[in-house]
Structure 1
Amino acid sequence: MTSLSGKVVLITGGARGVGAEVARRLHRRGARLVLVDLDREPLAALADELGPHALPVVADVRDLSAMEAAVAQGIERFGGIDIVMANAGIASYGSVLAVDPAAFRRVIEVNVLGVFHTVRAALPSIVERRGYVLVVSSAAAYAAAPGLTAYCTAKAGVEHFANSLRLEVAHLGVDVGSAHMAWIDTPMVQDAKADLPAFRKMLAALPGPLGKTTTVEACGRRFERGVERRAKRINVPGWVGAARWLKPLMQTPLAERDVRRNARRLLPEMDAEVAGLGRSVSARVQALGEAASTD
């Protein structure tokens, strides 16, 4: 188990949701924080709350040079990077036939290339300090969801990225983990619920715990423990770990029967709602993307 006191942790997507919650928890444990996000106002507010041991950096994970500059700022301020949490992620709305192709591409760029850029930029310091890399994937890496194809594709991809990276750097004393969460009450999930009544119906149609939403605080507790233990996998809630082993069974026609039935009923509703919105991402994500393109 690793002491977090004095460790330098770089977190992307650090302004809100799980990133901000983990930042607060690690800060209480004595960590130094490099918080990276595009959302300037909540990022600045969180840095003010945490004080001099938190360095806010406005950067786009899609830009490798921006991430290299963020890492350089963290090293200059705190001396190095011990832990990197590649957490930044977005989702798009709508089926493959309905989603805006630009939104689909942006999800892949943020959720896949953003992870690569984050890890690539931080890795030399992580190797030097024999540190820890946490790639934030999702339960979506194990179980597909209609209407979230870009997100599921990206999260499956970064899980395997973490698996491959683990093999590359184990002999260098670096540990690599991946995090897999079901529905967490983050701004991303809140936005989808607000924008799309069909999304709420899809969640309600899932059996048992599959449609339940976990609090950000509960998720943060598991992440804190996982980072401390340099965990290979962090599952939130705990039952998500079983989904990894059951993945082949979940892809059988019998297991997919109810999902297909609900998709046939609800996906046309979702696509109509997306068309009515005139956008395939949340208003917040769209505004951040427009702001980034003008910087």
Structure 2
Amino acid sequence: MTGFAGKVVFVTGAARGVGEEVARRLHRRGARLVLVDLDAEPLTDLAAALGDRVVTQVADVTDLAAMDAAVAAGIDAFGGIDIVIANAGVASYGSVLGVDPVAFRRVVDVNILGVFHTVRAALPAIIERKGYVLVVSSLAAFAAEPGMAAYAASKAGVEHFANALRLEVAHHGVAVGSAHMGWIDTPLVRDAKADLGTFRTMLDTLPGPVGKTTSVQACGQRFEKGIERRARRIDVPGWVAAARWLRPLVQSRLAEGRTRRHAAATMSEMDAEVAALGRSVSARTRALGDGHTAG
């Protein structure tokens, strides 16, 4: 793939954050877009800003029928789909003992089942065009932090989903990649910073570049380049690739020592913050009726 002119790109979690940034970048390069999100207002605003070559669908990624309908709308408008970006994702707050079980399940439903539904619905069209699938995972897939068990488990799950899918569809000429990001300045991260002092403290105590936040624009630039070359992995920032190769060390007892000490000092405090909030998700996510927004 040498460019995006005329390519049809299907993006979930498209209204904000990384999904929005990638949509804007690919549209500037001539792509035709099928943009899916549960948050209707910013999705409509984005479509108005982009102008032509855009179809939007307000849809819940946990509903396979809704994703089938969104794919059908894209095919009706543009004749097919070349690229699917399974980006929609949410996070919850609190320890395994402290998190609302409904919120924990919602994270798993959106971040894992939502990816499956997105890919399942789009895959026949992708196979027809020998296209590309990008599953958005995270650095959390192999470097977990306390208080984020649902998010880490779901992102590890979709990393392996992408690995299995790659093996299944390679003979069709379809390429599959997974994206792994550190902390990106998305609404998801900004909401957590605003809600939880313990989350801000955790970022401040992470070593070296690990606690630094990358701009959505820089993340979008790496996505754009990776999607264009049908990359097997997209890492943001670049050092995330080294963390993957060093996964046995990252997950070793020695490396986990700092995190265990941090957890001992802050988990009860985080759970108290969550209890005071009266919710284990961001206010924006709860306002959507436990809806699903871009990660």
TM over 0.5: yes
- Higher mean displacement: 214-223 or 249-258: 249-258
Counterpart in 2 of 1:238?
A: 238
Which stretches in structure 2 are left out of the alignment for 5+ residues? none
Counterpart in 2 of 1:48?
A: 48
| Count of aligned positions | 292
Report the RMSD for the aligned CA atoms in angstroms. Answer: 0.9
What is the CA distance between 1:266 and its match in structure 2?
1.4
- Higher mean displacement: 231-240 or 283-292: 283-292
Counterpart in 1 of 2:270?
A: 270
Residue type of the alignment partner of 1:153? A
Q: How does 1:96-245 map to 2 (within 5 A)?
A: 96-245=96-245
Counterpart in 1 of 2:2?
A: 2
What is the CA distance between 1:2 and its match in structure 2?
3.0
Q: Which runs of 4+ in 1 moved over 3 A?
A: none
Counterpart in 2 of 1:60?
A: 60
What is the CA distance between 1:253 and its match in structure 2?
1.4
Q: Is the 8 A contact 1:15 1:37 kept in 2?
A: yes
Higher relative contact order (CA 8 A, sep 6+): 2
Q: 2:154 & 2:225 partners in 1: Cα distance?
A: 25
Which stretches in structure 1 are left out of the alignment for 5+ residues? none
TM-score, structure 1 length as denominator? Answer: 0.98
Q: Given the alignment of the two structures, is residue 249 of structure 1 paired with residue 249 of structure 2, yes or no?
A: yes
Deviations 1:131-168 (CA, angstroms, capped at 9, x unpaired) = 00000000001101100000000000000000000000
Give the SS at the match of 1:234: strand
Give the SS at the match of 1:254: coil
Q: 1:79 & 1:51 partners in 2: Cα distance?
A: 19
Residue type of the alignment partner of 1:243? A
**Distance verdict in 2 for CA 1:263–1:291, change over 3 Å:** closer
Q: 2:228 & 2:271 partners in 1: Cα distance?
A: 42
Q: 1:268 & 1:54 partners in 2: Cα distance?
A: 46
Q: Is the 8 A contact 2:106 2:290 kept in 1?
A: no
What is the CA distance between 1:16 and its match in structure 2?
0.1
Give the SS at the match of 1:235: strand
Q: Is the 8 A contact 2:84 2:122 kept in 1?
A: yes
Residue type of the alignment partner of 1:82? D
What is the CA distance between 1:240 and its match in structure 2?
0.2
What is the CA distance between 1:290 and its match in structure 2?
5.0
Q: 1:124 & 1:2 partners in 2: Cα distance?
A: 23
Q: 1:214 & 1:136 partners in 2: Cα distance?
A: 16
Q: 1:15 & 1:290 partners in 2: Cα distance?
A: 16
Counterpart in 1 of 2:20?
A: 20
Q: Is the 8 A contact 1:2 1:230 kept in 2?
A: no
TM-score, structure 2 length as denominator? Answer: 0.98
Q: 1:244 & 1:289 partners in 2: Cα distance?
A: 35
- Higher mean displacement: 57-66 or 242-251: 242-251
Q: Is the 8 A contact 1:176 1:232 kept in 2?
A: yes
| Identity among equivalent pairs (%) | 72
Deviations 1:143-196 (CA, angstroms, capped at 9, x unpaired) = 011000000000000000000000000000000000000000000000000000
Q: 1:103 & 1:140 partners in 2: Cα distance?
A: 18
Q: Is the 8 A contact 2:285 2:291 kept in 1?
A: no
Counterpart in 2 of 1:92?
A: 92
- Higher mean displacement: 259-268 or 178-187: 259-268
Residue type of the alignment partner of 2:285? V
What is the CA distance between 1:289 and its match in structure 2?
2.5
What is the CA distance between 1:291 and its match in structure 2?
7.0
